[in-house]
Structure 1
Amino acid sequence: RKHSLQFPSLLQPGKWEKPPPLRPWPTHLIDRSHNRMFLAAMCFVYFAKAFQGSYMKSSITQIERRFDIPSSLIGFIDGSFEIGNLFVIAFVSYFGAKLHRPRLIGAGCFIMAMGSFITAAPHFFQGLYKYETTVSHFSGSNGTESILPCLTNGSLAQDEIPTVEIQAECEKAASSSLWLYVFLGNMLRGVGETPVMPLGLSYLDDFSREENTAVYMALIQTVGIMGPMFGFMLGSFCAKLYVDIGAVNLDTITINHKDSRWVGAWWLGFLLTGGVMLLAGIPFWFLPKSLPKQGETETEKESNEGEQDRFIPDKPAPVSMAALAKDFLPSLKILFSNTIYLLLVCTAFVQISGFIGMITFKPKFMEQIYGQSASRAIFLIGIMNLPAVALGIVTGGFIMKKFKLNVLGATKICIGTSLLAFSTLLIQYFLQCDNTQVPGLTVSYQGVPQVSYQQNTLISLCNMGCSCSLKHWDPICASNGLTYASPCLAGCQSFTGDGKDMVFHNCTCIGDSPFPYANMSAVLGQCSRKSDCDYMFKFYMAVTVIGAFLSACGATPGYIILLRSINPELKSLALGIYTLIVRTLGGIPPPVYFGALIDRACLKWGSKQCGGRGACRIYDSGAFRFVNLHWHFFMVTLFVNLVYTLKNKGNHFWFHKEPFSQRIFKEPSLSYLFII
């Protein structure tokens, strides 16, 4: 008994009590964490979608070469993003507010990631990239002269013989229709991008205070601006890597990243950007359907309705089509009778068309006109031109706020910046390098510049004894400084070395040039541009940066003019039509017709593995430079008309009591206008 264990406290009634329940986290702390989580997620997704979209722009040239398609078709592929966006934008904007907005954004991120993966998929089904070359047919015997580059008349060029192996590989060749996967993947990215902006901004506006909304939007836009810079830098890195890296011995590749036949690892960047987008969408799946307003009590929370509840009535009143048409058509007539509004829409269309066409093909322009590699051109755009655009937008807004300019003052800024930007474009037109000197294309075999080009001009007395292919582009740099289309067309009789180190000798056409050399030898690749072309390119980059900054300075004043020219009762209709025109006419056709104009400047087309015309290898620099010039003439004309209209019809403006800087982030439609 002395050592018996007794627990009277446990046995007595009332002594055993349940442990106190765990106190839940305060509701305001949970809401605050959700607010921060959503803001961070929006910053990340804005960065990811800009990162993904800019990488697509930087890979245009690589995709064009890999699939051996013309610039007009690659422009159509690039415009598929806007097509996918327009397919679902009405549905998402109308029904999205009644659904779980964060999860819709997360689903959109998943769709964008899948679009990137689908875009990269053709690489794994095409087989190895086989660039057009004649060297592979006679590079097997190193240091010998038994197999001659210049074939005899009785023989047939081996690259023209249709072998069974080539016919069997036609289904996997770059000339196949696998580019449709790139088109569908890019369109899918456009579908997935649709809910990010309208639903994200409305969700942000619902829970944030009015004074904090502008700060949050500025933070999101600032982070988003970093996306294009990283996207172009990734494009520059991937353009230096060979497309089949890891699958082939790079020592056997006879071209480098400066060659117009080089294709970089374009697919690798889409896998990386798709993975980043997949990560960006994860946080949205853990956010609630709605959040209370910052600083709002529970009582106020119940009495106030967010955009989710008031966006669409649960039981909308039935409206007949006749009643809608009765109100719609007169409103549309009033809107299109507003001369200022029409001029602003046309001006925005021209500006955005020129910008989309320029940014799509600018790497190709810098490569063809100034002899820059695709990777270096992409890198310079990312670190110089895009930051200048961002700085210009901020500067334009700062000037408007600092000097408190009215509508006429904003118009003067738009006109002044446009004229200055146009003057920089005129300067760019004269900052040119001469065409690459290619006998039979840009100069004759005697070194005289040619007025026109036909395929038979590639044949001359010096190579008439050779059975050369006129379709292929396999350039060599001769000792006289000229670039010949192929060793055979240069009349080369022998070679030494192997692979990239091959040297061709006894080239008869080199002796016919105005500056003949005794050895008459040549090496693989195009000749470098003259030293003055490097200085010209530096001036060109400086002028383009200044022009990009000046053009962007007029962006914010232009938005103010647009908003003040609209009757408040027709604001939604006017902005909707403005957005529709800008996104459809300004985003989809320009890459196509700019690409078609660029195709007309082509001097030498490549050949597909299975026959037919491939991607362009060399352009006429004069015709290429003129492509983007005529649009700016039209833009200046529109601005002159706008000045005349403002001078005579200034009383047609509608002034808002609320400052533009506050309204731009309060209304989703206006914030959408600001972003595009």
Structure 2
Amino acid sequence: MEKKKSSSKSPKLRAIDSTKDTDNTELGTKERYGCFNIHPDWLQVFNNRKWLAFLIGVCQLLFSTVTSGYESSIVSTLQRGFGLSSTDIGGISVCFSVAQSTLGVILSHKAANSHKGRWVGITAIIAAIGCFIYALPHFVTKSYGILSSYQNGNQSYGICSSTSKPSPLTDQEQASQKGLYIFLFCLGQFVIGAGTSILRSIGWSYLDENVSPSVSALYTGINLSLLGLGIALGFVFGGTALDLYVYWPAEVSDPSLTIDNPNWIGAWWLGYIVIAAIIILMAFPILALPRHLPNYEYYKMKRAQQAEGKSKIDRYKSKTLKDLIPSLKDLLLNMPFMCTVLNLVGNLIVLAGVGVFFPKYIESQYGVLASSASMYTGIMIVVGMLVGIVLGGGYMKYKKLKVLGLAKFAAISTTLSTVTVAAFLIAICPRTLIAGVNIPYHNFTSEIAVSQTHNLSDNCNSGCYCDSETFKPVCDLSTGITYFSPCYAGCTSKGIDFNNGQQVFGNCSCLSTNTNAMRNHTQSLDVVLNYCPKECNALIPFIIMGIIFAFLVYCSLIPSYQVILRCVPESQRPLALAVQWVFIQCLANIPGPILLGTFIDGACSLWEVQNGERAFCWIYDNQLLAYGLAGVILAMRIFSAIFSILAWYFLKRDIKKYAGIEKENIKDDHEADEKEPENKIIKPSSSNQNMVETASKLNGFTETLV
């Protein structure tokens, strides 16, 4: 009898008990790799979880590269090139989040019981189309306004002159073109958002259901690391593209227009074209994936055995839209899930708002090039991410953390990250002093507040017809004072310093009238092109604190995403990820850029004026900018810490609650069995059988809590 019992397991069950992939030659057509009913045997080498993880990971890498890192790295370039304020940039970024929040839940619900691989592949192609649309303004623009003074051989532009110079475009033409650019940017962001809306829900769920639960956290960590790596690559790629002239492969016609010139515009559009082409190439292998990979049913059974708390109760099998409301209600009443989502909202509102403008902050605060600011941002993310993934992931693996331990680890990491806000308060550089903007022309000891109206005109340049819409800063090296342009410095001549190749402007009348300046009479009245250099050693400490911040953020993100996957029933995981993403979009990604953009505009000292309206900011008050950002980030870190602690508390409560209920049900079931006559053969009902199975799962239940 024992021998017969040991061999009673069917060959089919023995096949799926293996953790290795099933032989692909025995699978049905729906489980084979290929497209259009073409599933040759030689393609089945790709029909495994590693290839699936690779495709989803690369897709995640490309999406995060183009939507986060690269987009943020070109913010200041788009502002100069198309006359956009930080508020305009924030509004454009919101279009991406609107598409994700409005389409994310609906598409995820429809795709949850469909062929997830095809949904991911088709939406990837849509995202690539959005990238092409976003690059269109470069190809439809007649010219970039701030480059007009460097084109057509206009070498004397910016010198003090007794005659006025006409604007290359009328006010009506400028307003019309700006409206077209904003429309194309918004449309591109919306299409990109639609195309990337289901990757984190359907894509991650597709991967999670086709791998062993024992390695699911590893794949989640890999995806999060690729997400972070994509952001970092976006900054690096953006910095590289911005070093190229905007009309690349054409060369710059004016030698004075160099990379360190404030009017320089890099090839911002190039990255969108390249990344879109790669996304399209990656979409076709994704479309060839089967609906379910080998061992899907076995992994599903293993996940059911490891379920804890509310995730054991799987009431909803949503197949139609009418099932959406009860499923949503169940999720919204799941306190561990909702608290973890709000924890992520607090984390990501900082990343969404500050992330968009972070390179711009480094560029303004530390006086570095736009390309260098992108590189520094990428370094902070890559180093912090790698250390966070290795140490955080290693700790979770070493401790073999269950869901409760993961929630506790996320709470500790989130709470510790609040100390990194000190970087904004400590690492502050002195602001650039500009005559007529933040200091008067004739009194360098007093200041002009941001709220006060500045006046570029003075008696020393009253005879010059200066263009206030063309910012061409020049520096008086003797005093360290920057002037808006050679014209506003009263300069009447232009030349080249043959010793260093610098462009020099001479006979500057505003320099000679500075009564408080300690100028030697033998010194020339010359200025050089560009801002005055400022001594500041705060960049390195800021980068170090930024790395620590990224490290702690990634230490908290991986366990938080694992908690979301483990505190809901399996059938609700795609919807849970979609709901989580909608909350992030509506509460973090949509308000974040707009609020931060409005605040950053409020710290502006010098605006570029086009068509009589403020276009974009040239100079910020560094102290006001730093203190404001520190306040916003600190508030959000405290918000995240509170909800991460609440998630841990509610999860611990639910695990104890449902463990007690199940033990009580099993006890009642056993007592009922003992009351039955011994000679009566009872056929076990499905509910009783489930209770027996549950009893076996509860062996050692308390030992799993961390």
Aligned to 1:199: 202
Aligned to 2:532: 527
Identify if the C-alpha distance between structure 1 residues 503 and 181 changes in structure 2 by more than 3 Å, giving closer, same or farther.
Answer: same
Structure 1 residue 255, shift from structure 2 partner: 3.1
Deviations 1:398-417 (A, max 9, x none): 33453467899767755654
Structure 1 residue 603, shift from structure 2 partner: 1.0
Identify if the C-alpha distance between structure 1 residues 209 and 169 changes in structure 2 by more than 3 Å, giving closer, same or farther.
Answer: same
Structure 1 residue matching 2:538: 3-state secondary structure: helix
The answer to whether the 8 A contact 1:126-1:173 is kept is no
The answer to whether the 8 A contact 2:221-2:389 is kept is no
Q: Distance in 2 between matches of 1:398 and 1:25?
A: 34
Q: Distance in 1 between matches of 2:640 and 2:140?
A: 50
Aligned to 2:625: 624
Alignment of 1:344-363 (within 5 A): 345-363=341-359
Structure 1 residue 82, shift from structure 2 partner: 1.9
The answer to whether the 8 A contact 2:316-2:571 is kept is no
The answer to whether the 8 A contact 1:466-1:491 is kept is yes
Task: Say which of 279, 282, 285 aligns to 2:281.
Answer: 279
Aligned to 1:265: 267
Alignment of 1:64-213 (within 5 A): 64-131=79-146, 140=155, 149-152=159-162, 155=163, 157-158=164-165, 161-162=166-167, 166-167=169-170, 170=173, 175-205=178-208, 207-211=210-214, 213=216
Letter in 2 for 1:150: C
Q: Distance in 2 between matches of 1:47 and 1:643?
A: 27
Task: Say which of 528, 535, 538 aligns to 1:536.
Answer: 538
Q: Distance in 2 between matches of 1:612 and 1:286?
A: 52
Alignment of 1:525-564 (within 5 A): 525-530=530-535, 533=536, 535-558=537-560
Structure 1 residue 438, shift from structure 2 partner: 0.8
Deviations 1:554-613 (A, max 9, x none): 3345557778998999999987654432221111110111001000111111133x5533
Q: Distance in 2 between matches of 1:652 and 1:25?
A: 44
Deviations 1:502-546 (A, max 9, x none): 42111122223313252110122212222xx1x221122122212
Q: Distance in 2 between matches of 1:292 and 1:511?
A: 82
Identify if the C-alpha distance between structure 1 residues 285 and 562 changes in structure 2 by more than 3 Å, giving closer, same or farther.
Answer: closer
Aligned to 2:61: 47
Moved more, 459-468 or 551-560: 551-560
The answer to whether the 8 A contact 1:476-1:484 is kept is yes
The answer to whether the 8 A contact 1:476-1:526 is kept is yes
The answer to whether the 8 A contact 1:206-1:291 is kept is no
Task: Say which of 388, 392, 396 aligns to 1:396.
Answer: 392
Q: Distance in 2 between matches of 1:439 and 1:199?
A: 56
Structure 1 residue matching 2:543: 3-state secondary structure: helix
Letter in 2 for 1:614: A
Structure 1 residue 418, shift from structure 2 partner: 4.4
Structure 1 residue 167, shift from structure 2 partner: 3.3
Identify if the C-alpha distance between structure 1 residues 395 and 470 changes in structure 2 by more than 3 Å, giving closer, same or farther.
Answer: same
Note if 1:492 corresponds to 2:494.
Answer: no
Structure 1 residue matching 2:628: 3-state secondary structure: coil
Note if 1:516 corresponds to 2:536.
Answer: no
Q: Distance in 2 between matches of 1:213 and 1:347?
A: 21
Aligned to 2:455: 457
Q: Distance in 2 between matches of 1:646 and 1:195?
A: 25
The answer to whether the 8 A contact 1:394-1:553 is kept is no
Note if 1:234 corresponds to 2:242.
Answer: no
Q: Distance in 2 between matches of 1:317 and 1:625?
A: 47
Letter in 2 for 1:177: L
Letter in 2 for 1:49: F
Identity, in percent, stands at 26
Moved more, 426-435 or 32-41: 32-41
Moved more, 102-111 or 366-375: 102-111
The answer to whether the 8 A contact 2:158-2:485 is kept is no
The answer to whether the 8 A contact 2:108-2:575 is kept is no
Task: Say which of 218, 226, 247 aligns to 1:244.
Answer: 247
Q: Distance in 1 between matches of 2:456 and 2:496?
A: 26
The answer to whether the 8 A contact 1:232-1:379 is kept is yes
Structure 2 residue matching 1:585: 3-state secondary structure: helix
Structure 1 residue 129, shift from structure 2 partner: 1.8
The answer to whether the 8 A contact 2:332-2:338 is kept is no
Letter in 2 for 1:227: G
Aligned-residue Cα RMSD (Å) equals 4.1
Letter in 1 for 2:620: Y
Q: Distance in 1 between matches of 2:623 and 2:61?
A: 37
Structure 1 residue matching 2:461: 3-state secondary structure: coil
The answer to whether the 8 A contact 1:229-1:382 is kept is yes
Structure 1 residue 634, shift from structure 2 partner: 2.5
Letter in 2 for 1:604: L
Letter in 2 for 1:626: Y
Identify if the C-alpha distance between structure 1 residues 293 and 415 changes in structure 2 by more than 3 Å, giving closer, same or farther.
Answer: closer
Structure 1 residue 76, shift from structure 2 partner: 1.7
Q: Which runs of 5+ in 1 are unaligned?
A: 1-23, 142-146, 297-309, 658-676
Alignment of 1:300-319 (within 5 A): none
Structure 2 residue matching 1:241: 3-state secondary structure: coil
Q: Distance in 2 between matches of 1:618 and 1:430?
A: 20
The TM-score, its normalising length taken from structure 1, stands at 0.76
Structure 1 residue 60, shift from structure 2 partner: 2.1
Deviations 1:431-487 (A, max 9, x none): 211001111122222322414254553233322343434443221112322210011
Moved more, 81-90 or 34-43: 34-43
Q: Alignment length, in residue pairs?
A: 595
Letter in 1 for 2:489: A
Deviations 1:64-119 (A, max 9, x none): 22211110110121222222222322232222245443332221121111111111
Q: Distance in 2 between matches of 1:253 and 1:429?
A: 39
Structure 2 residue matching 1:627: 3-state secondary structure: helix
Aligned to 2:46: 33
The answer to whether the 8 A contact 2:404-2:652 is kept is no
The TM-score, its normalising length taken from structure 2, stands at 0.73
Task: Say which of 364, 382, 385 aligns to 1:368.
Answer: 364
Structure 1 residue matching 2:617: 3-state secondary structure: strand
Structure 1 residue matching 2:146: 3-state secondary structure: coil
Identify if the C-alpha distance between structure 1 residues 133 and 473 changes in structure 2 by more than 3 Å, giving closer, same or farther.
Answer: farther
Structure 1 residue matching 2:459: 3-state secondary structure: coil
The answer to whether the 8 A contact 2:473-2:486 is kept is yes
Task: Say which of 444, 447, 454 aligns to 2:444.
Answer: 447
Letter in 1 for 2:100: N
Alignment of 1:574-585 (within 5 A): 578-585=580-587
Q: Distance in 2 between matches of 1:46 and 1:255?
A: 37
Q: Distance in 2 between matches of 1:295 and 1:318?
A: 27
